[in-house]
């Protein structure tokens, strides 16, 4: 049998699928058979493209909503994590959880306004927190060097962890922004440039001695975080 090809231009089809070169077979039933085959192939392609677009749309919605792989809530076992502290030494959560109540607070960046207020409040209240056997740990995407400068500039007296790849933040379910940003600050009369590639949201967690998350705050007011933690720790003490 011979085939006659006719070209059709379709100006609108779902997902901009252009149809062309539809074969028309001459003969008694050839035309119908060719058309059915073409329709079957076209439907398969359109369905495949629709499925792909749905997957892309879902991924886009999840990204815009800040959906992450982990979601740690009160009552859950706290993630086990390791990161370098301000001295470049490995800080392991498993070496601290159980011996004291651990406050893990995530903040966007060293030497910025809100983060400085938050850190200085913890610094000023640390002696009272230590009396209640509380250890404070600050976590950001800053480098070890940045943390050294931050501690030096404001005489900070607690541990700062360098989460430069966002692994600790991810373990706790935080959304991070992966973009290089810098902060200029004058420290000891010298202008310093503090650069980071990860910026996390401001969230605070309290890990009880049983290794479980005792409190979680995703709406932290930077300057009031330390006082809020003191209230939480007081309530935990009454429950024990």
Q: Residues 34-48, buried b or exposed e (16+ Cβ, 10 A)?
A: beeeeeeeeeeeeee
The length of the chain is: 240
For 231, residues 6+ apart whose C-beta sits below 8 A from its C-beta are none
Q: What angle do CA 105, 111, 115 make, to 5 degrees?
A: 35
120 flagged as catalytic: no
For 22, residues 6+ apart whose C-beta sits below 8 A from its C-beta are 5, 6, 8, 34, 35, 38
Which one is catalytic: 102, 115, 214, 222? 115
- Measured CA to CA, the distance from residue 88 to residue 96 in angstroms comes to 17
3-class DSSP state for residue 99? coil
Q: What angle do CA 111, 113, 119 make, to 5 degrees?
A: 65
Q: Please give the radius of gyration of the chain, using alpha carbons only, rounded to the nearest integer.
A: 29
Helix 144-154 to helix 113-131 angle, to the nearest 10 degrees? Answer: 70
95 touches 88 (CB < 8 A): no
3-class DSSP state for residue 166? coil
Q: What residues are annotated to the active site?
A: 115
């Amino acid at each position: 049998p011979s085939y006659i090809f006719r070209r059709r231009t379709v100006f609108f089809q779902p997902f901009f699928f252009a149809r062309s070169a539809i074969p028309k077979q001459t003969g008694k039933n050839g035309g119908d058979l060719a058309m059915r085959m073409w329709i079957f192939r076209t439907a398969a392609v359109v369905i495949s493209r629709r499925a792909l677009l749905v997957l892309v749309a879902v991924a886009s919605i999840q990204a815009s909503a800040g959906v992450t792989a982990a979601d740690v809530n009160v009552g859950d076992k706290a993630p086990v994590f390791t990161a370098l502290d301000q001295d470049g030494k490995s800080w392991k959560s498993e070496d601290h959880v159980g011996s004291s109540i651990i406050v893990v607070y995530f903040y966007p960046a060293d030497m910025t306004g809100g983060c400085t207020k938050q850190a200085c409040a913890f610094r000023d209240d640390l002696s009272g927190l230590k009396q209640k056997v509380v250890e404070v740990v600050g976590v950001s995407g800053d480098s070890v060097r940045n943390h050294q400068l931050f501690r030096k500039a404001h005489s900070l007296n607690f541990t700062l962890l360098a989460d430069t790849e966002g692994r600790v933040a991810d373990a706790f379910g935080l959304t991070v922004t992966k973009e290089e940003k810098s902060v200029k600050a004058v420290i000891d009369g010298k202008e310093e440039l503090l650069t980071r590639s990860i910026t996390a949201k401001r969230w605070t967690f309290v890990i009880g001695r049983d290794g479980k998350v005792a409190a979680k705050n995703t709406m932290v007011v930077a300057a009031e975080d330390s006082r809020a933690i003191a209230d939480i720790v007081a309530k935990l003490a009454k429950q024990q």
